[in-house]
Structure 1
Amino acid sequence: MKNLKTVLVLVIVSLVFQYTSAQKQPNVILLFSDDAGYADFGFQGSEVMITPNLDKLASEGVQFTQGYVSASVCGPSRAGLLTGRYQQRFGFEENNVPQYMSKMSGLDGPNMGIPLTETTMGDYMKSIGYQTAFYGKWHLGGADKFHPMKRGFDEFYGFRGGARDYWAYTKPPQEELNKLEKNFGNFKEHDGYLTDKLADEAIDFMTRNKKKPFFIVLSFNAVHTPMHATKEDLAKFPELTGKRQEVAAMTLGLDRACGNVLDKLKELGLEDNTLVVFSNDNGGPTDKNASINLPLSGTKSNHLEGGIRVPFLMKWPGKIQENTTYNYPISTLDLLPTFYAAGGGKTKDLKNVDGVNIVPFVQGLNTERPHKELFWKLGARAAVRDGDWKLIRYSDRPAELFNIEDDPSEKKNLAVYYPDRVKQLFKKLYHWELTLERPAWLLQKKFEKVDIDRMDRYRN
């Protein structure tokens, strides 16, 4: 009997140790918006948008003034985010939408995704003991083999495609990949407004897993087209009209959904042990949803700052100082190693990632730049940032050179004044391109003659 009691005590001690050890791992939540404008949040200076919850998040953590994505369009940007690697390294250079296909393999929309040889953020977090979930827009391959639950996520609620209605479909959508799905193969439309519903699903997951470390990617389709907002949210902006009123209302809905998640964290007593990031997938389209990217030039689909620089917030109580800013360039490529390291993983175990763990930089333990160079590429167009210098290569006109520190709005092209620097940056760009795979898919034949700088209207 004495031995039995001893065994029971040891089992209980072991269980308690496992529980407390697990709780030392922070929960991790990525709040990710779609097509939001750089200036369309209160914490970014907007006096029109109503975003109290995200403004509060900004005041409770660090705001990155030079947060970048790895692509200026949805699919490639998300592929870089989920792998921590430049997506061109595995051929995911263009959007995976029906207008694109591979001449070599005949790939169609559903079969264009992150190659199965790549390890995702979900895979890595799951490997160190996290319960993982993905909610919302996937857009990383519609075929079953690319499904989130086969790419490292325990649960899924959302749609496999790139854009869908915010209200429930009364008949099957034109694009089958935009049907709403719960976990694997359970297709059923929702009740209410999708932005709110996605947050509700994330809250349910948090509640069910509050005693375990969890990792959530809450990938809103807000504020991507179609322009759908609730009547109540529209009524909050009587001074606005048209798309501008609609995007303001949709942003309010996005903020409310984020706030509901953050409030639930506090209610569950998890706030102090949770790392939260908010960001966006690419620059806002100034035409389709009337986003505003000022003071940056450019828009979604191009390599000016307005196409690749995004709002970027991080909160981690006790680890990151409140109400601060970080001014060196960072990238969404950095989130995978940052989350993995926060969860106790060793970044040296990550496979060929291009991102870095940015926490030591934010904490001031490392005073160097996280990235000396950053690269972007979409077809013949490309850009490189080296320190504060940025070169943009076009398909139909001479390259442009800017000093981003002095000229973040990219108003003054300095290429003619610094020809040696232009040459140097071209060499860096070419050297990087030699490390990439060929694009796995391109525009279909009927679009091939369209100038690459005018393709934006074909992209989601």
Structure 2
Amino acid sequence: MIRRLFLSLLAFPCLLSAADAPPNIVMIISDDHLYSDYGFMGNTVVQTPNLDRLAAESRTFTRGYVPCSLCCPSLATMITGLYPHQHKVTSNDPPIPAGMKPREFSGSPQFEAGREVMSKHLEEAGTLPTMLKQKGYLSLQTGKWWQKSYERGGFTHGMTHGGRHGDAGLDIGRKTMKPIYDFIAEAKKQQKPFMVWYAPMMPHDPHTPPQRLFDKYKDKTPSVPVAKYWAMVEWFDETCGELIKHIDDQGLKENTIFVYLSDNGWITNPKTGRYAEKSKQSQYDGGLRTPIMIRWPGHVQPKKTEELAQSIDLVPTLLRAVGIEPTKTFPGINLLDDSAVSSRKTLYGECFTHNFVDLNVPASSLKWRWIVDGYDKLIVPHAANQPNDVVELYDLKADPTEEKNLATGQTDKVKALSAKLDAWWKP
């Protein structure tokens, strides 16, 4: 009897520690994916059953945004919680020296030196994996990663070792999911909370879906490139389903936070297979908008909402969810704070050149600033890089594809929104 009591007392602290363990974090980041190309967002052709199920189990923000419609700066925002002009990783690649051809540049010392500056900017900004270390988290990088080795982002484990945007990390999803499963097993063995960065190059080109999925879509459109893209979306969805199922089957569902979003949008040009002008790298919602989902059973009540959310919100949201009080002020809000979410009416963003103009001066690479205020959207070009552009104003409720520029007829609204934009950041 005494021995049984003694053993039960020994076990009691273990039960407490398991109950009080910080939640695991899994970030699923789609790559070049239009915000409407999901079943739960109303698409009746592209099938995304696994992400539809995740949306039904999540707080799903259908009007989510990234501040920048370009891969590298967008990902840097997700992991720092800062706008590109704050973390300074504004572009995909360093500036090309005068007289040097792009192909020469990619293998040159100048290219490597530029990428080193970009990696240092990210380190100085601070990253989520680094912040999570104080709670004992292990963290894994897979998929897209621009800042040299995974270690530069503060990850304890990773697949990328220095390639331009992922090297070996790009095998995730397309070829294997095993590195994630092995990492989770290791974290469980060490009894440590974990973070997984799942950012496969999917549905990003090359659009090389399995034949079975291409066959499924080829008769739904006269465009082979569009069918390939749609098939890539469903292939990506399948990998998300595998990952979610693995977490749930491991008994980790109740204590794991899933976050989902895309780095930027993509609309397939039906003739060329490249991206259409109002998507990736543009100032329009086709490049900037993404659903944002948060699943945490027992803590987050599932619902679909049109309240505004942005990728700058992820770091402060996740830090507070795991019990870490931020040591600096972030521009985003806690998406699990109902009051903060309901009181927000405005989002801001900025788009930059593909290659930096000056690695240390964000404004030098700026193309457009934008503001969404309710359903009004104002786009202001930066004259140095977009000298022929005009100010644009759209009513996103009535005109979601941004076809009718209202700026000349609503000058008072343009003036008021411009003042808000300048108060946020005026280069």
Task: Give the TM-score normalised by structure 1.
Answer: 0.76
Structure 2 partner of 1:353: 330
Structure 2 partner of 1:76: 73
TM-aligned CA distance change 1:339 to 1:371, over 3 Å: farther
Tell me, in whole angstroms, the C-alpha distance in 2 between the residues paired with 1:93 and 1:290.
22
Matches within 5 A, 1:117-196: 117-139=124-146, 141-142=147-148, 147-158=149-160, 160-161=162-163, 178-180=166-168, 194-196=172-174
Deviations 1:161-217 (A, max 9, x none): 456xxxxxxxxxxxxxx5316xxxxxxx96xxx424453322222233234321111
> In percent, how many aligned pairs have the same letter?
29
Match of 2:232 among 218, 241, 250: 250
Tell me, in whole angstroms, the C-alpha distance in 2 between the residues paired with 1:427 and 1:409.
25
Structure 2 partner of 1:408: 400
TM-aligned CA distance change 1:225 to 1:319, over 3 Å: same
TM-aligned CA distance change 1:197 to 1:106, over 3 Å: closer
- Measured after TM superposition, the shift of residue 366 of structure 1 is 4.7
Matches within 5 A, 1:382-397: 382-394=369-381, 395=386, 396-397=388-389
Residues 150 and 159, structure 2, Cα contact 8 Å, conserved in 1? no
- Measured after TM superposition, the shift of residue 328 of structure 1 is 1.6
Deviations 1:303-323 (A, max 9, x none): 11111001322212122223x
TM-aligned CA distance change 1:228 to 1:367, over 3 Å: closer
Matches within 5 A, 1:371-386: 372-378=346-352, 379-386=366-373
* 1:89 partner SS: helix
TM-aligned CA distance change 1:393 to 1:92, over 3 Å: same
Structure 1 partner of 2:415: 423
* 1:359 partner SS: coil
Tell me, in whole angstroms, the C-alpha distance in 2 between the residues paired with 1:268 and 1:54.
19
- Measured after TM superposition, the shift of residue 281 of structure 1 is 0.2
* 2:307 partner SS: coil
Give the AA of the match of 2:291.
Answer: P
Tell me, in whole angstroms, the C-alpha distance in 2 between the residues paired with 1:228 and 1:124.
37
Alignment of 1:202 onto 2:170: no
Is the helix fraction higher in 1 or 2? 2
Tell me, in whole angstroms, the C-alpha distance in 1 between the residues paired with 2:265 and 2:162.
22
- Measured after TM superposition, the shift of residue 14 of structure 1 is 4.9
Residues 276 and 316, structure 1, Cα contact 8 Å, conserved in 2? yes
Give the AA of the match of 1:419.
Answer: T
Tell me, in whole angstroms, the C-alpha distance in 2 between the residues paired with 1:393 and 1:58.
33
Residues 281 and 351, structure 2, Cα contact 8 Å, conserved in 1? no
Matches within 5 A, 1:12-411: 14-22=13-21, 25-96=22-93, 99=96, 108-111=113-116, 112-113=118-119, 114-139=121-146, 141-142=147-148, 147-158=149-160, 160-161=162-163, 178-180=166-168, 194-210=172-188, 211-239=191-219, 240=221, 241-287=223-269, 289=273, 298-322=278-302, 324-346=303-325, 349-361=326-338, 365-366=339-340, 368-370=342-344, 372-378=346-352, 379-394=366-381, 395=386, 396-411=388-403
TM-aligned CA distance change 1:372 to 1:39, over 3 Å: closer
Give the AA of the match of 2:71.
Answer: C
Tell me, in whole angstroms, the C-alpha distance in 2 between the residues paired with 1:256 and 1:92.
31
Tell me, in whole angstroms, the C-alpha distance in 1 between the residues paired with 2:194 and 2:97.
36
Give the AA of the match of 2:329.
Answer: N
Count of matched residue pairs: 388
CA RMSD of aligned residues (A): 3.1
Residues 32 and 278, structure 1, Cα contact 8 Å, conserved in 2? yes
Task: Give the TM-score normalised by structure 2.
Answer: 0.81
Give the AA of the match of 2:52.
Answer: D
Residues 247 and 291, structure 1, Cα contact 8 Å, conserved in 2? no
Residues 83 and 353, structure 1, Cα contact 8 Å, conserved in 2? no
Residues 330 and 371, structure 1, Cα contact 8 Å, conserved in 2? no
Unmatched 5+ residue regions in structure 1? 164-177, 182-188, 437-460
TM-aligned CA distance change 1:67 to 1:265, over 3 Å: same
- Measured after TM superposition, the shift of residue 402 of structure 1 is 2.0
Tell me, in whole angstroms, the C-alpha distance in 2 between the residues paired with 1:262 and 1:253.
15
Unmatched 5+ residue regions in structure 2? 99-108, 353-365
Residues 247 and 290, structure 1, Cα contact 8 Å, conserved in 2? no
TM-aligned CA distance change 1:282 to 1:304, over 3 Å: same
Deviations 1:131-183 (A, max 9, x none): 211111102x22xxxx22242211102465456xxxxxxxxxxxxxx5316xx
- Measured after TM superposition, the shift of residue 330 of structure 1 is 0.7
TM-aligned CA distance change 1:43 to 1:98, over 3 Å: farther
Give the AA of the match of 1:220.
Answer: P
